[in-house]
């Protein structure tokens, strides 16, 4: 995805002239960016005090809603697991890709009526984002618990023969069952020790049934052998086996328990499949809602800041710039030359500089209104399972 600069400059004789001047400076002569008008409707201005207070509130709301958008996007990637290459095609806003939505932005009059005050509109967005965040926590928690339980069972059925479940390996006929005197034990033998096992297993204890061993299963490193002996020799056999690097598994054949384990695995797998479709649909719908809300906050911030900076009557042109990556520095210089007359104090402020007493590291200040919109919502370098820790 990509980065956009959402800026505004005061209208000259007409807002169209402001637009034409930007286009002349950034595209027609030097191709620094791709530009689009960003249409903000005539919102209710309110009082100066309200605007000043709202400016701070919207900054916090912007950060919160952005975090919700990113959480939903990241969780979508987590849920899709092996199909993460399809994440981007599911991250749509109003049915279109994010770049298309932003570059063709139109205010949603039905969701955010412009007859309402700016404060009310921001509260509508805040409640909407809070509800999505709350619902996401609940749904993620339920799905993660189900997924975690299934993974625990799957781990039991994989891995080393020393620890894995044996339910899908052994059969009833492998055991001497219901005998008062005899018992079948299972022993894990390293592949390199197969010959030693065959030579010595009958002498590891008294009362081992001759020629009773059988290889039931093997993985890359070891084999699982059965051996039958008298119950009174169990402790001695276990000790001598360990001395010879043969590990006896604590296992009793119980058909009921093994059947229950298999049924639980099937049930969890079925439940996960049932929940997967509705969860992905919910994530798609609510990603769209959250993203749309986020861009409307950006529009509100541009409107409020433009009125505060440029004054009344409302007369400014909002513009969306998509900088060419290699030309970002040059574009910033051109914009400064174009708008430096708006605020002379901006000439000495460089957000990249560390000036004692000025906390500029958290925000960038320019003579024109500026907000960054970064659509790169997924960071696959991070461990996406961190989403578990969020909730």
Quick check: is 266 in a domain?
Answer: no
Range of the domain at 245: 172-252
What's the confidence (pLDDT) of residue 378? 74
What's the confidence (pLDDT) of residue 346? 55
> What's the pLDDT tens digit per position in 296-336?
999 999 999 999 999 989 999 999 999 998 999 999 999 99
- Burial bucket for residue 65 (CB in 10 Å: 0-12, 13-18, 19+): buried
Quick check: is 269 in a domain?
Answer: no
- How far apart CA 232 and CA 20 sit, in angstroms, is 97
Give me the number of domains the chain comprises: 2
The answer to whether residues 34 and 133 belong to one domain is yes
The answer to whether residues 26 and 139 belong to one domain is yes
The answer to whether residues 177 and 146 belong to one domain is no
Quick check: is 387 in a domain?
Answer: no
The answer to whether residues 109 and 16 belong to one domain is yes
CATH number, domain of 313, equals 1.20.1460.10
- How far apart CA 22 and CA 175 sit, in angstroms, is 84
The answer to whether residues 190 and 243 belong to one domain is yes
167 pLDDT higher than 70: yes
The residue written with tokens 């960071």 in the block is 379
2: pLDDT confidence band, cut at 50, 70 and 90?
confident
> What's the pLDDT tens digit per position in 25-65?
998 778 899 999 999 999 999 888 999 999 999 999 999 99
> What average pLDDT does range 98-113 have in this prediction?
96
- Domain boundary residue among 208, 235, 252? 252
Q: Which long-range contacts (CB under 8 A, 24 or more apart) does 133-142 make?
A: 133/68, 133/71, 135/282, 135/286, 136/68, 136/71, 136/72, 136/75, 136/286, 136/391, 137/390, 137/391, 139/279, 139/282, 140/75, 140/387, 140/390, 140/391, 141/391, 142/275
**What tokens were used for 298?**
């950006």
CATH number, domain of 235, equals 3.30.70.100
- How far apart CA 129 and CA 289 sit, in angstroms, is 8
> What's the pLDDT tens digit per position in 112-128?
999 999 999 999 999 99
């Amino acid at each position: 995805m990509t980065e956009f600069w959402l800026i505004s400059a005061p209208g000259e004789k007409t807002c169209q002239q402001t637009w034409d001047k930007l286009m002349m400076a950034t595209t027609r002569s030097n191709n620094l960016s791709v530009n689009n008008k960003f249409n903000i409707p005539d919102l209710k201005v309110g009082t100066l005090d309200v605007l000043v207070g709202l400016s701070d509130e919207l900054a916090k709301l912007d950060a919160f809603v952005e975090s919700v958008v990113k959480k939903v996007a990241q969780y979508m990637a987590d849920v899709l697991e092996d199909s993460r290459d399809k994440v981007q095609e599911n991250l749509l806003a109003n049915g279109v890709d994010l770049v298309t939505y932003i570059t063709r932005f139109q205010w949603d009059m039905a969701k955010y009526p412009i007859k309402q005050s700016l404060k009310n509109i921001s509260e509508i967005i805040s409640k909407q984002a809070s509800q999505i965040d709350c619902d996401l926590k609940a749904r993620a928690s339920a799905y993660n618990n189900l997924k975690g339980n299934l993974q625990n069972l799957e781990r039991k059925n994989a891995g080393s023969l020393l620890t894995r479940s044996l339910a899908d390996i052994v059969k009833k006929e492998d055991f001497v069952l219901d005998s008062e005197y005899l018992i079948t034990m299972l022993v894990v033998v390293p592949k390199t020790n197969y010959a030693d096992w065959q030579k010595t297993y009958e002498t590891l204890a008294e009362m081992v049934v001759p020629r009773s061993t059988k290889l039931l299963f093997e993985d890359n490193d070891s084999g699982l052998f059965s051996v039958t002996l008298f119950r009174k020799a169990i402790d001695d056999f276990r000790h001598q086996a360990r001395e010879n690097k043969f590990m006896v598994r604590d296992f009793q054949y119980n058909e009921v328990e093994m059947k229950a384990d298999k049924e639980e695995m099937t049930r969890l797998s079925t439940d996960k499949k049932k929940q997967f479709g509705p969860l992905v649909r919910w994530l798609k719908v609510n990603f769209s809602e959250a993203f749309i809300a986020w861009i409307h906050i950006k529009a509100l911030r541009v409107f409020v800041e433009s009125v505060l900076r440029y004054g009344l009557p409302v007369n400014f042109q909002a513009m969306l710039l998509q900088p060419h990556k290699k030309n970002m520095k040059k574009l910033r210089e051109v914009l400064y030359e174009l708008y430096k007359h708006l605020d002379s104090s901006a000439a000495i402020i460089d957000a990249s500089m560390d000036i004692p007493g000025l906390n500029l590291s958290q925000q960038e200040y320019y003579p024109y209104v500026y907000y960054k919109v970064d659509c790169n919502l997924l960071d696959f370098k991070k461990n996406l399972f961190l989403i578990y820790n969020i909730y």
